[in-house]
Amino acid sequence: MSTGGDLFSKCYKFEDAKKLQAMGLYPYFRPITASTGNNVVTAGKRQVMIGSNNYLGLTHDRRVMEAAQDAIDKYGTGCTGSRFLNGNLDLHEQLEARLAAFVGKEAALCFSTGFFVNQGTLGALVGRADVIYSDRENHASIVEGTRVALGDTIRFKHNDLEDLERVLKNTREKYDGALIIADGVFSMSGDILNLPGMIDLGKKYNCKIYVDDAHSLGVLGPRGEGTGHHFGNHQDIDLVMGTFSKSFASIGGFIAGTSDVVHYIKHKARPFMFSAAMSPASTATVLKCLDIMETEPEHLRSLTDNAAYMSKNLRSMGFNTLNSRTPIIPLLIGDDATAFAMTQKLCEEGVFVTPVVRPAVPEGCSLIRTSYMASHTKEDLDYALEHLEKIGREFGVLGSAETTERLNRIALENFGAHSIQ
């Protein structure tokens, strides 16, 4: 009697990564054996790190590391349970109060990962009669959250308010509650959300606004408070989400909004209720980073200056950067094989970058994602520029009018008119 197929058959047939490994072009899971933040050592070779989200360069700040150690000394290495049961520390509650005040909301709730924030919040809030309107370039954690949510999800073209209004006009009356969700800074393109226009449409069509500020905190706003403070309309955002694995040099995440909404999420979001709490060291790290962000604006100034320096020089070389105005500066390559080969060559020459291919970007839109830190020195940046230009020319990405025209066409078709330099 037949008992059906083999559950693992797809695993045996999965060859994509193995082919890259056989070619010596596999760019993932590179073991880092030492790190100073700006520089790392992999395979015994020092590399300038321009593939990290450590925007404010605080992962190796002595005060931050000491705060983590002090928390271990006081609370131990872990909470060994959920916040509901035995894992609720006074540190968690201090952090939530501080974060709410920082982003300008009544309350905040911390989760053990940023991924869980989006999954848990969307799953808790969006019922069967409700709808989510989601930007097509939103992070995978938002996509997974929309899959958990019981209501429908309707996607709109990236950062395209005309397309958003089109879908709102055609569908909004079919649903009870509605939520428009988008990244504040998009993690691959470095694009900044058109938040003022999104808020206007939210008011016009009675939709709540949810902004994922994972890559905006520490980057946008007078003190790094995020997208709403960058535009001066944070009071019109209903929910602000943030992560701790970037500017906050730790791991975890939070959601912030009105007290009633946060209280509801606290008692309904399963990834929060049934996961162990953030560790004491992780929580103390975020608190110390928040102290620094609130009192030392020079870190944000350095980040902004470094990003502007790299953007100016990369564009003058001829790289298509999708017109990014943030520390995330993508280099549009187009062809996956070229992106993998360039990444490997840069790694060999002492520059740590990461390739981005489908499904993180549309087919034929491969990128080399570069990102910059407040702590990068001019020597770090110039070293990276020298080798980026050399290898860009070696692979034909730079120096050809035909290639420039082709990449501009790809950018226009897939990322919108605002991506054209």
Give the model's pLDDT for residue 414.
85
**215 catalytic per annotation:** yes
214 and 230 both lie in a single domain: yes
SS3 content of the chain, % helix, strand, coil (to 5): 45, 15, 40
Q: What is the dihedral of CA 307, 308, 310, 314, to 10 degrees?
A: 130
114 within domain boundaries: yes
72 and 191 both lie in a single domain: yes
271 and 148 both lie in a single domain: yes
- What strand order describes the sheet that includes 366-371? 328-334, 366-371, 354-356
Structure tokens given for 212: 């994922």
Helix (H) / strand (E) containing 49 = strand 45-49
Give the model's pLDDT for residue 146.
98
Query: How many domains would you assign to the chain?
Result: 2
8 within domain boundaries: no
DSSP character for 310? H
31 within domain boundaries: yes
Structure tokens given for 287: 């608190």
Q: Are 168 and 214 in contact (CB under 8 A)?
A: no
> How many whole angstroms separate alpha carbon 167 and alpha carbon 175?
13
E strands, 79-194, where?
A: 107-111, 131-135, 152-156, 178-183
287 and 303 both lie in a single domain: no
56 within domain boundaries: no
Q: Are 121 and 111 in contact (CB under 8 A)?
A: no
57 within domain boundaries: no
- What is the identity of the amino acid at 387? H
Radius of gyration of the chain (CA): 22
Q: Looking at 295, 316, 351, which one is the last position of a domain? A: 295
277 and 315 both lie in a single domain: no
29 and 79 both lie in a single domain: no
193 and 337 both lie in a single domain: no
399 within domain boundaries: yes
What are the Cα distances from residue 328, in Å, to 87, 169, 176, 308, 379?
35, 33, 37, 11, 19
| Those residues with Cβ within 8 angstroms of residue 312's Cβ, 6 or more apart along the chain or in another chain | none
> How many whole angstroms separate alpha carbon 214 and alpha carbon 186?
9
Give the model's pLDDT for residue 359.
85
Output the tens digit of pLDDT for each of the chain's 421 residues. Answer: 667 899 999 999 999 999 999 999 999 999 999 999 999 999 999 999 999 999 999 999 999 999 999 999 999 999 999 999 999 999 999 999 999 999 999 999 999 999 999 999 999 999 999 999 999 999 999 999 999 999 999 999 999 999 999 999 999 999 999 999 999 999 999 999 999 999 999 999 999 999 999 999 999 999 999 999 999 999 999 999 999 999 999 999 999 999 999 999 999 999 999 999 999 999 999 999 999 999 999 999 999 999 999 999 999 999 999 999 999 999 999 999 999 999 999 999 999 999 999 888 888 899 999 999 999 999 999 999 999 999 999 999 999 889 999 998 988 888 876 777 6
- What is the identity of the amino acid at 14? F
Q: Are 330 and 314 in contact (CB under 8 A)?
A: no
250 and 303 both lie in a single domain: no
Structure tokens given for 116: 């869980």
> How many whole angstroms separate alpha carbon 402 and alpha carbon 70?
58
Q: Looking at 265, 295, 325, which one is the last position of a domain? A: 295
Helix (H) / strand (E) containing 39 = strand 39-42
76 within domain boundaries: yes
116 and 219 both lie in a single domain: yes
> How many whole angstroms separate alpha carbon 383 and alpha carbon 328?
18
Q: Are 247 and 114 in contact (CB under 8 A)?
A: no
Give the model's pLDDT for residue 1.
62
CATH of the domain at 342: 3.90.1150.10
226 and 372 both lie in a single domain: no
SS3 239: strand
115 and 261 both lie in a single domain: yes
Query: 197-210 burial string, b = 16+ CB within 10 Å, else e?
Result: ebbebbeebebbbb
**263 catalytic per annotation:** no
Closest by CA position to 335, among listed 387, 399, 416, 397: 397
237 and 183 both lie in a single domain: yes
Residue 162: exposure state from Cβ atoms within 10 A (0-12, 13-18, ≥19): exposed
Structure tokens given for 79: 């909470």
Residue 72: exposure state from Cβ atoms within 10 A (0-12, 13-18, ≥19): middle
Catalytic residue among 92, 105, 234, 246: 246
Give the model's pLDDT for residue 133.
98
Q: Looking at 272, 295, 318, which one is the last position of a domain? A: 295
| Domain membership of residue 309 as a residue range | 14-43+298-419
Give the model's pLDDT for residue 412.
84
CATH of the domain at 132: 3.40.640.10
Catalytic residue among 141, 187, 247, 419: 187
- What strand order describes the sheet that includes 39-42? 32-35, 39-42, 45-49, 351-352
400 within domain boundaries: yes
Catalytic residue among 215, 234, 266, 387: 215
What are the Cα distances from residue 116, in Å, to 16, 102, 142, 200, 227?
28, 21, 10, 29, 21
**19 catalytic per annotation:** no
pTM of the full predicted structure?
Answer: 0.95
